[in-house]
Amino acid sequence: MSESGRPSRPTFDAVQVGDLLPGRDFALLREDLVRYAGASGDLNPIHWNARVATEVGLPDVIAHGMLTMATAARVVTDWCGDPGAVIEYGTRFTSTVPVPDDGVGARVTVSGTVASRDEQARTVRVDLVATCRGERVLGKAQAVVRLP
């Protein structure tokens, strides 16, 4: 902890391969989907209309893939303390995140591990695991972070 009582930001010299980032559980509610749809312009009804979602074979309304991806990245940005330090981020979408209209929504659990270090660039690669309902929803989720 720093003197301000906030967690200290990691430095390149202090971070080692295998270090675990603080994991988090995130709740995604239908309201979050509506807000994201408005902000992103992705108004596909599978993200807000249960009838349409089930008619196309989905279990319920589903979270936008990019919203799930951004939510998972919060574990990295919270850890490093600077969203601008993330210089690369990518993933594959492996499963949907159904979001029931029950006031509880979906729970996405995210963990991260420092997987590699690049001495010359002073960057680390963080591998993320994101699950919902016990199923991985992102595959090969990796962020490259430049640390001080």
Show the domain range for 118. 16-28+63-146
Q: Indicate the number of domains in the chain.
A: 1
pLDDT at 6: 57
Tell me if 3 is assigned to some domain: no
The full DSSP string for 33-102 is HHHHHHHH----GGGT-HHHHHHTT-SS-B--HHHHHHHHHHHHHHHHS-GGGEEEEEEEE-S--B--SS
pLDDT at 1: 47
CATH number at residue 139: 3.10.129.10
Tell me if 112 is assigned to some domain: yes
Tell me if 7 is assigned to some domain: no
Q: Which tokens go with 115?
A: 């997987």
Tell me if 116 is assigned to some domain: yes
pLDDT at 129: 98
pLDDT at 41: 96
Tell me if 124 is assigned to some domain: yes
Tell me if 97 is assigned to some domain: yes
User: In the chain, pLDDT over 70 holds for what percent of residues?
Assistant: 95
Average pLDDT of the residues of the chain:
95
Q: What is the pLDDT of residues 123-142, one digit of tens each?
A: 999 999 999 999 999 999 99
Q: What is the pLDDT of residues 38-73, one digit of tens each?
A: 999 999 999 999 999 999 999 999 999 999 999 999
Tell me if 22 is assigned to some domain: yes
Tell me if 109 is assigned to some domain: yes
